[in-house]
Structure 1
């Protein structure tokens, strides 16, 4: 049976919850507890978002030895470079880059065409590979993306070095059965899907957790 791995984002996504902001000491304490729990990956923050996040990721990267430490990064050179500087002292550093793939996000947030998103995915995944072999690629708003296009984006990410493909339910409306079906489609249709790990990022807006 394949191993189910735990990617813990308490220190990044979890900290966005009201009343959950943490200082450096508290973040280090949480990271050490997560290490004791033997999670596989700690997403320590979003390096470029603030100097505080950068510092905490760097300190966690130095302190944690038994699991991977990741920083989130948009699919831009500046974000990826900053993420690398933050995680480079980790025993197993990971860069977690993302780009939106839904029609709504591509048009109104990124102001990019699907072709431009494919090109950016290729270039930025390859750029991250210059620093690390442990690369996670996330297709933001994947569950509202065109499935054919999502398959293309995932294929491009894998071709250029992604070792983990994450499918986020960004707006939190997909049911467990729908998520299962989407992952099965991607594994069946994307070349070399068997060479990478698939991951999901879900919310509990529908109260089904």
Structure 2
């Protein structure tokens, strides 16, 4: 049977996942386990601490300090989501995380954001094959409501993604992007950047 470590290694290669019944069985089994947990997260009132603890069970990693989430929340897999401190996830978000999602410290994820780490092959004959690509979000990023971020995208530190954008390519640090597909609108001013990030390497490098 495929292990979580083996699956993550496969996904990290960025190649089409093998047509291997064990790999797909592992994805399905893990996804069903996650859906049982998200059903509880979404189906009853939980205190903020309880929500954080349950999210830690979904990801298999303890929720970091300062983590907050407003349900409802859904994810396809659950075990390839990695968060730094003080991340906030607003209600209605959907994470397709088989390819891996990393969110840096202090980042804000708005209402109804979709993070999609899987593509399908373009070939009609192989359309059912899944191609993973990680999404890496840096520190103090603000992603507005109803944004979709596609597989393989890296969003740099301090960036802002305007509401309704579809992000198909990397976003430079300290820029505002918007539109479909998203394009750079402007760079943040020195005053807007300030000293909010402090020192250290970007969490998007993960």
TM range (shorter): under 0.3
Relative to its length, the structure with more strand (as a share) is 2
**Under a length normalisation based on structure 1, what TM-score does the superposition of the two structures give?**
0.25
Relative to its length, the structure with more helix (as a share) is 1
